[in-house]
Amino acid sequence: MRQFLPVQRMNDTGIGLAGIDGVWWLPAQTPFSLQPTVADALNAFGCAVFALFDCVTTLFQQETDERIGELLRYKVPESLQEFVGNGRVLSVRPDFQLQQMNNGRLQPVVTELEICPSAHGFA
């Protein structure tokens, strides 16, 4: 019978990131409860990310500084420029990994943000 070694099997696929060979994350092999501090950090992240998006949207719509528009249109193909809406973010799906700190606490680390409209296929 073949032994279940998820990390070894993932490493064998050749996965890597930014020069790191092998997986840079480990799957949870059993369910676990999040520490209250992690739930608090996730709630704080939600409030902060939407405050940031609201601020950027306001700056984009006011067009007081063209640098915001240039940044938001950076590398957007000309054929898609006409589809730019009001800049409002409708939803965000973040990917988090939990990093164990020296004091044993878990800290969520954002590894990816998928933003709607755009990454969810609504663009």
Answer yes or no: are the C-beta atoms of 98 and 104 closer than 8 Å.
no
Whole-angstrom Cα distance, residue 95 to residue 92?
A: 10
Q: How many CB atoms lie within 10 A of CB 86?
A: 7
pLDDT digits (tens, 9 = 90+) for 88-123: 777 888 888 888 888 988 888 888 888 776 655 544
25-82 per-position pLDDT tens digit: 666 778 888 889 999 999 999 999 989 888 888 887 887 778 877 887 788 788 877 7
Query: Over the stretch 82-94, which tens digit does the pLDDT of each residue have?
Result: 766 666 777 888 8
Angle subtended at Cα 94 by Cα 35 and Cα 24, rounded to the nearest 5 degrees: 75
Q: Measured between alpha carbons, how far apart are the two ends of the chain, in Å?
A: 48
Angstrom distance (rounded) from CA 93 to CA 2: 36
For the entire predicted model, the pTM comes to 0.60
The neighbour count for residue 61, using CB atoms within 10 Å, is 13
